[in-house]
């Protein structure tokens, strides 16, 4: 028979790691609809993914505590500038616990991005990548996930821009 401390340690470990394991099991897949969500941006405005129906969406999850995430954000800002007059939305979702480090980072790096807040990490853990950061989802005009990237990428590279252009032309 196992001792009580060993059993309690096992139960504690299972409770801590279960949400991450469940998120991986329920993460969206290529060819499926992107899970809907509702979050607030840094100004407090409520944004729904469904608000962007009919547009190509690049959805990126990040944190100021994630070096690969912060290294990727300038390319997302440049991509947003390239497509600002097209039917493309670059939505970034910060999972930082408070707004201050996010605002400071954006100001310090002169980045212009739409930043949504998932400080309680409900959208990322319950509907998307789980503990993987950075995580990006390229979503077509119909709401279908056409690419998932779980590592940093130069989003303003010619290849990435070409992919987005193809999605814009596709109806």
Report the residue count for the chain. 171
Q: Which residue has the higher pLDDT, 11 or 139?
A: 139
Span 24-48, average pLDDT: 89
Predicted TM-score of the model (pTM): 0.84
Backbone angles phi, psi at 111, to 5 degrees: -100, 140
Coil, strand or helix at 7 = helix
Q: Tell me, what's the pLDDT at 131? A: 76
Give pLDDT tens digits for 42-89: 999 999 999 999 999 999 999 999 999 999 999 999 999 999 999 999
The answer to whether 80 touches 115, Cβ cutoff 8 Å, is no
Give pLDDT tens digits for 91-127: 999 999 999 999 999 999 999 999 999 999 999 999 9
Mean pLDDT for all residues in the chain: 87
CATH number at 24 reads: 3.40.30.10
Counted domains in the chain: 1
Peptide bond into 124 cis (omega under 30): no
Contacts 24+ apart (CB under 8 A), 34-38: 34/59, 34/137, 34/139, 34/143, 34/144, 34/145, 35/127, 35/128, 37/123, 37/127
What residues make up the domain containing 14?
A: 4-169
The answer to whether 102 touches 40, Cβ cutoff 8 Å, is no
Whether the per-residue pLDDT at 13 is higher than 50: the answer is no
Q: Tell me, what's the pLDDT at 26? A: 61
Would you place residue 27 in the very low, low, confident or very high pLDDT band (cuts 50, 70, 90)? confident
Exposed/middle/buried for residue 28 (C-beta within 10 Å: 0-12, 13-18, 19+): middle
């Amino acid at each position: 028979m196992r001792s009580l401390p060993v059993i309690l340690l096992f139960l504690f470990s299972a409770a801590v790691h279960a949400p991450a394991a469940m998120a991986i099991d329920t993460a969206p897949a290529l060819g499926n609809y992107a899970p809907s969500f509702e979050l607030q941006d840094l100004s407090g405005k409520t944004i729904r993914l469904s608000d962007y129906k009919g547009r190509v969406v690049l959805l990126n999850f990040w944190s100021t505590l994630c070096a690969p995430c912060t290294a990727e954000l300038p390319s997302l800002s440049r991509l947003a500038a390239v497509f600002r007059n097209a039917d493309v939305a670059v939505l970034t979702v910060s999972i930082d616990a408070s707004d201050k480090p996010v605002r400071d980072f954006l100001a310090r790096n002169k980045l212009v991005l739409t930043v949504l807040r998932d400080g309680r990490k409900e959208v990322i853990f319950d509907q998307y990548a789980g503990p993987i950061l950075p995580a990006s989802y390229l979503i077509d005009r119909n709401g279908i996930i056409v690419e998932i990237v779980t590592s940093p990428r130069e989003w303003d590279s010619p290849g990435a821009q070409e992919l987005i252009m193809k999605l814009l032309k596709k109806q």
